[in-house]
Structure 1
């Protein structure tokens, strides 16, 4: 189990998404006052650990901390409650209530579409959650079936629980997204998000319309082979009414999927309209309920003041207080002109070779500090003497000569000390080869002997070029491996090739009647062993008959 902070332990992953991984976790101690829900030790929770690229983005961390209070106070019966936020090193995590149930995407895949009445009532509850979040100024921006969890009550009824609030807003960081990109899923993204226009809470209403369409048909209204094709259909095409969708319900879907955000209903009006439609399209609906459902368009009024999504980094920052003298600034005043620093007549200063000497520095007759530094650099360069050196006397260019073998010396004789090279000294004149050194006098710290070089020798004859090595014609030999290793490799290759042939061809059914490769090999080895043993018994019997034994 992996600890998260000092109060939670991760147990097992429940799912992975575009922004992180959801884990089943356990609380090991009560949370502090900074958490919305203190909890109890041993309580099971769900923790969403954001991806590493989000946790390493400074802007995401600042948004995470700044919107902490907004996410913690966002409570509604149809919203998965955020209990705590954890910021620890390079880890960002949201602690939420654990909902034991599938998400709406998997439920539709396993059970098929819902009836129009059930789809209307379920979407109405989701609209209630959106209305509560929009009232707090929080826009979900990624509404889709995968972000709706189904919670089953004790009476067996399922209630949708909207999750991942604020994740899209945290992921909308300048280090992760750019102006021409959007946050969300292409199949559920609103046209204004795809075009990069200002976004409001109307993007959630567009997502709710697509979700409602998918609940009654089993698929979203716009699909395509690529994300670009899907976005193009969002911008240019109008959805088509399926034959299984009643007219009042299609009126709600069509109004939610309007291209202009100002023509979409508010979340509160959407919930009211969906409940009216659900009451009027049932089998036991009265004539008044049917008439009200047919006039549902009058209930789908747009939101006069939709919640806006911040467009630029820092747009959600708290208002900063100006200094006390800020009122003295007049934005309509004339532009201030800086004083001139040139000659009294207004002309520009002449070009100077060197900057003026500050006061208190050496007198004008003394050399300028820059001149002193240049002179010091020249003096250092003049210390290096360049002389011509005969290439034959240069020890770095002359090939080293192989010296003749010396007779073995007695242990009492010390080898001559190695001469120390003298830097920047001219090479001495060539001298004859030095003789066997005399035994040095026993004295401490003997001075090093003068370096001597052997006279230049004629260059030795170049040896005959070595004949290229003939490669073996044996294809089994592998470069870098011995013969035994090559044989072992070939045996392994034969086994692998036989296994592939056995598994990928009908040979298995023809010979071994469906047995595996290793079972067939075992049977073959057993048959060979029995045959060898029978041959041995036959030879033994023949020997006994030849010897006259019965």
Structure 2
């Protein structure tokens, strides 16, 4: 168990959200007069501990303290009451009534969508809570099923809207540096996504999305990324589910209008939803059905919507005391100084040149002008000039030349060279100075062959390097008289030689072997072998008889 202040003890976490963690806690002693509900020792409460990034921002802490009276006086049967606020070091917490029941998001995920009548009645109670908060000047700005708790009341469900003021606390300079808007992308209003001024109409838009999700099981707009969802909020129209009656769809369509001025007020929304619930029920009479079909006449916009205060304080207007100032007088920007006719002093752009440096004459350019011209020359665009084909490395053919003995490098005199200031007195070479006449001549003159440029003189000579030993000249490699190479010629030669060898071998076999006789007599291979064997046996027998 972890103590929060001197009056509360945290027991176990109940849920975690974007702005903090909700804990089940127990009250240790009776709260003081600063709390809205003193409570009793041992009483169970819910405490929402805000994130450290919120509690560590002094702007949010000051806003938290300023909103204390607003949050503590916000009471309604459908609003989770804030009992106390705790500020202790880097800990910022809201003490609220504990509601034993799931939130609406979890209930939808486990039980599926509501019937049209049940969805209309539940959303009407949420609209009642919104109307009460708008009357007190508080806009929720983050209305979604996860912020609606369901309290069990005699077998029924009683919705309780929570997290009032959290969006307003989070909308401070310390947090909005990394967030473009406050809220959830699936339930954000178009004006909030665009950064336009927000009013209580953003809560009516969230109530319309909540009602759509209650009857269909999903929000009207979804996508793979938050940017895609925001784009649909700005330009797409919601698709009507097949199970939604016409009067209920009229209410949803009015709440989801893109323009805030076309949406109904929270009070008119609650009244219209109850008329629709009576007209679409199974026991509705003709009068109730007719009233439900004409529900559009009840959904009138709010003539004076509650505005969401900006992050910065409004501009303070000075009181008009007699003789203090003239409101009709011209604005005085700069005081007039001495000069001819009361004119202001001329602007001093360049400081005077120190004595003894070049450029001090009245006609000479100032050293700073030379620096500016040199910088402008370096940033000038590349000039296209004519290049001799013999000097163009992309056009000329490479020519192999016999290696020449390497000349020893030129050795610089030992020691650094003395610093030679340029004509401008700041060490810039003369070739970097801006010369407009020379630039015009180069740009419009007839192209001339490019001359090799001499390298600029070095200010400081590098240290002398030891001369390398001269290498023996490399003998040029002997090349064939025909340097042309045909791809695949070696393979073609091999194929031709193989074909020639096969032709000659076939001719020799045909002429020198008894193949012609075999083909003429029609004798087979095995019969010819048998004939050869009989002939050889006859020879052997003849030789044996001759010997006897």
1:338 to 2:323 alignment = no
Q: What is the CA-CA distance between 1:62 and the residue it aligns to?
A: 1.1
Whether the 8 Å CA contact 1:84–1:95 is kept in 2: the answer is yes
Q: What is the CA-CA distance between 1:314 and the residue it aligns to?
A: 2.5
SS at match of 2:277: helix
1:64 to 2:61 alignment = no
Instruction: Tell me the residue number matched to 1:5.
Output: 5
CA-to-aligned-CA distance 1:74-100 (integer Å, 9 cap, x gap): 000000000011111111100000000
1:236 to 2:235 alignment = yes
CA-to-aligned-CA distance 1:439-473 (integer Å, 9 cap, x gap): xxxxxxxxxxxxxxxxxxxxxxxxxxxxxxxxxxx
CA-to-aligned-CA distance 1:399-442 (integer Å, 9 cap, x gap): xxxxxxxxxxxxxxxxxxxxxxxxxxxxxxxxxxxxxxxxxxxx
Q: What is the CA-CA distance between 1:179 and the residue it aligns to?
A: 9.7
SS at match of 1:199: coil
Q: Using the alignment, how far apart are the partners of 2:133 and 2:347 within structure 1?
A: 66
Q: What is the CA-CA distance between 1:2 and the residue it aligns to?
A: 0.8
Q: Using the alignment, how far apart are the partners of 2:214 and 2:312 within structure 1?
A: 36
Q: Using the alignment, how far apart are the partners of 2:258 and 2:321 within structure 1?
A: 48
Q: What is the CA-CA distance between 1:312 and the residue it aligns to?
A: 3.3
Q: What is the CA-CA distance between 1:321 and the residue it aligns to?
A: 8.8
Equivalent residues in 2 for 1:210-289, closer than 5 Å: 210-289=209-288
Runs of 4+ in 1 over 6 A off after TM superposition: 345-353
Whether the 8 Å CA contact 2:2–2:10 is kept in 1: the answer is yes
Q: What is the CA-CA distance between 1:327 and the residue it aligns to?
A: 6.5
Instruction: Tell me the residue number matched to 2:160.
Output: 161
Q: Using the alignment, how far apart are the partners of 1:270 and 1:17 within structure 2?
A: 28
In structure 1, runs of 5+ residues without a counterpart are: 354-550
Q: Using the alignment, how far apart are the partners of 1:17 and 1:122 within structure 2?
A: 23
1:109 to 2:109 alignment = yes
TM-score (norm 2): 0.61
Whether the 8 Å CA contact 1:101–1:152 is kept in 2: the answer is yes
SS at match of 1:165: coil
SS at match of 1:328: coil
Instruction: Tell me the residue number matched to 1:19.
Output: 19
Q: What is the CA-CA distance between 1:157 and the residue it aligns to?
A: 1.3
Whether the 8 Å CA contact 1:103–1:148 is kept in 2: the answer is yes
Equivalent residues in 2 for 1:133-172, closer than 5 Å: 133-153=133-153, 155-172=154-171
Whether the 8 Å CA contact 1:342–1:348 is kept in 2: the answer is no
Q: Using the alignment, how far apart are the partners of 2:221 and 2:347 within structure 1?
A: 71
Structure 1 residues 324 and 299, CA gap change in structure 2 (3 angstroms): closer
In structure 2, runs of 5+ residues without a counterpart are: 354-548
Structure 1 residues 12 and 66, CA gap change in structure 2 (3 angstroms): same
Structure 1 residues 349 and 215, CA gap change in structure 2 (3 angstroms): closer
Q: Using the alignment, how far apart are the partners of 1:21 and 1:326 within structure 2?
A: 55
Of 240-249 and 330-339, deviating more is 330-339
Q: What is the CA-CA distance between 1:175 and the residue it aligns to?
A: 1.9
Whether the 8 Å CA contact 1:200–1:308 is kept in 2: the answer is yes
Equivalent residues in 2 for 1:508-523, closer than 5 Å: none
Q: What is the CA-CA distance between 1:320 and the residue it aligns to?
A: 6.7
Whether the 8 Å CA contact 1:179–1:196 is kept in 2: the answer is no
Q: Using the alignment, how far apart are the partners of 2:156 and 2:227 within structure 1?
A: 39
Q: What is the CA-CA distance between 1:324 and the residue it aligns to?
A: 8.5
Q: What is the CA-CA distance between 1:348 and the residue it aligns to?
A: 8.7
Q: What is the CA-CA distance between 1:141 and the residue it aligns to?
A: 0.3
Equivalent residues in 2 for 1:236-385, closer than 5 Å: 236-315=235-314, 325=321, 328-336=324-332, 338=335, 340=337
Q: What is the CA-CA distance between 1:332 and the residue it aligns to?
A: 2.2
Structure 1 residues 178 and 263, CA gap change in structure 2 (3 angstroms): farther
Query: Looking at CA atoms only, which structure, 1 or 2, has the larger radius of gyration?
Result: 2
Q: Using the alignment, how far apart are the partners of 2:253 and 2:199 within structure 1?
A: 19
Whether the 8 Å CA contact 2:172–2:311 is kept in 1: the answer is no
Equivalent residues in 2 for 1:461-500, closer than 5 Å: none
Q: What is the CA-CA distance between 1:59 and the residue it aligns to?
A: 1.2
Equivalent residues in 2 for 1:387-406, closer than 5 Å: none
Q: What is the CA-CA distance between 1:334 and the residue it aligns to?
A: 3.7
Instruction: Tell me the residue number matched to 1:32.
Output: 32
